[in-house]
């Protein structure tokens, strides 16, 4: 855990201050690959799928690089929410929304079970994935898990940002997370997070520096609306605030620490990810650069 008032609150794998159901399952699949994460919530009874015995692992922890939904699909398989840039999955034809029915002939009963199956193949081994609605299995070679601690959100830099339906706590107005043509700062925070509180003056300053047509800020917390409203009664937050209790936004952006600021350019591409006030000056320079950039031409427009 990072210490000090300028540090970030680490929330997911390390110390697990709060539980992110979708994200944690995805992190295990993408990086951990450890048998100790065998599911406690696996199905039981005569209708449960029973995986076959695992073949010998080829060598070292394997990395497929997918983010999985917590819920299984219509065919009982696991659902791919996203592939991680630079991973074997991203280099393949595996698509968002694919339902994985089996891996090397074994049937996972849930996402964490799938994680275990990946790890048991081992780095360098082949994974044959049967995908619902796809005639031919997808065969790919698993890579070695990247060493050391990895910030998943940073791996999204230079990839398209995902627009997610949100509701602003201020107005109860439904809207999209992203507004076309604007630079965005999407903040992931919590009311109990000290560094998040410390960052409020800087957030207010940078929001006041730019017009609404240049910069949009959105603050996302997984806490409930009542908790957020109680906090807003004490602190002014002059930008949309989202009570993301279903973790729909947090899951899409793989948030591991609070505060995390995701900076998105006018064309909807993630250009920077910053965690903690130690990186604030770099964030300010990035936002200034992006605001100065012209709006990218619409597809098919004349030059």
Does 189 lie in the same domain as 104? no
pLDDT, position 280: 93
- 19 in a structural domain: no
pLDDT at 98: 95
213 with 252, same domain: the answer is: yes
Q: Are both 201 and 236 inside the same structural domain?
A: yes
**Contact 273/263 with Cβ under 8 angstroms?**
yes
Of 99, 122, 144, at which residue does a domain stop? 144
> Are both 227 and 201 inside the same structural domain?
yes
pLDDT in tens, the chain (303 residues): 333 334 455 443 322 233 343 334 334 344 333 322 222 222 223 333 333 444 444 556 788 988 888 788 999 999 998 888 788 998 999 998 999 999 999 999 999 899 889 988 988 999 999 999 999 999 999 998 776 555 677 778 888 999 999 999 999 989 999 999 999 999 999 999 999 999 999 999 999 999 999 999 999 999 999 999 999 999 999 999 999 998 889 888 888 789 999 999 999 999 999 988 889 999 999 999 999 998 877 654 444
Backbone φ and ψ of 293, nearest 5°: -75, 145
Does residue 46 lie in a domain region?
Answer: yes
Both 165 and 287 in one domain: the answer is: yes
CB distance 215 to 287 below 8 Å: yes
Domain span at residue 218 reads 153-292
For residues 56 and 130, membership in a common domain is answered with yes
Strand pairing category for 215-221 and 270-275? unpaired
Total domains present in the chain: 2
Residue 16 lies in a domain: no
Residue 289, H or E segment: helix 280-292
Residue 221 lies in a domain: yes
Cα distance between residue 132 and residue 98, in whole Å: 7
Closest CA to 11 of 229, 156, 232, 188: 188
Whether residue 287 is found in the same domain as residue 214: yes
pLDDT at 53: 43
Q: Are residues 136 and 189 in the same domain?
A: no
7, part of any domain: no
pTM of the model: 0.67
Q: Are residues 57 and 159 in the same domain?
A: no
CA–CA separation, 197 and 219 (whole Å) = 12
237 in the same domain as 110: no
In terms of domains, do 187 and 269 share one?
yes
Dihedral of CA atoms 34, 37, 43, 48 in degrees, nearest 10, equals: 10
Domain assignment of residue 15, yes or no: no
**Is 173 part of any domain?**
yes
Q: Omega into 37 within 30° of 0, i.e. cis?
A: no
Q: What is the CATH number of the domain that holds 186?
A: 3.40.30.10
């Amino acid at each position: 855990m990072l210490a000090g008032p300028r540090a970030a609150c680490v929330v997911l794998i390390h110390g697990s201050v709060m539980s992110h159901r979708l994200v944690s399952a995805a992190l295990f699949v993408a990086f951990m690959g450890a048998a100790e994460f065998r599911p406690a919530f696996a199905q039981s009874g005569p209708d449960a799928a029973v995986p076959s015995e695992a073949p010998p692992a080829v060598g070292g922890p394997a990395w497929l690089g997918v983010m999985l939904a917590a819920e299984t699909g219509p065919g009982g398989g696991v659902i791919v929410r996203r592939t991680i840039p630079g991973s074997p999955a991203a280099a393949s034809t595996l698509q968002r929304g694919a339902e994985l029915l089996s891996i090397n002939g074994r049937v996972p009963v849930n996402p964490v079970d799938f994680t275990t199956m990946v790890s048991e193949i081992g780095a360098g081994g082949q994974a044959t994935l049967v995908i619902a609605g796809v005639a031919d299995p997808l065969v790919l070679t698993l890579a070695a898990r990247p060493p050391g601690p990895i910030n998943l959100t940073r791996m999204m830099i230079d990839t398209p940002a995902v627009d997610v339906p949100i509701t602003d706590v201020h107005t109860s107005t439904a809207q999209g997370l992203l507004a076309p043509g604007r630079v965005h700062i999407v903040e992931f925070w919590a009311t109990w997070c000290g560094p998040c509180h410390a960052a409020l003056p800087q957030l207010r300053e940078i929001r006041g520096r730019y017009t609404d047509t240049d910069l949009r800020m959105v603050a996302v917390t997984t806490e409930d609306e009542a908790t957020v409203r109680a906090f807003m009664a004490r602190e002014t937050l002059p930008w949309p605030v989202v009570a993301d209790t279903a973790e729909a936004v947090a899951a899409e952006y793989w948030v591991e620490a609070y505060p995390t600021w995701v900076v998105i350019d006018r064309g909807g591409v993630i250009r920077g990810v910053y965690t903690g006030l130690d990186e604030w000056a770099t964030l300010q320079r990035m936002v200034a650069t992006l605001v100065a950039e012209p709006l990218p031409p619409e597809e098919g427009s004349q030059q």
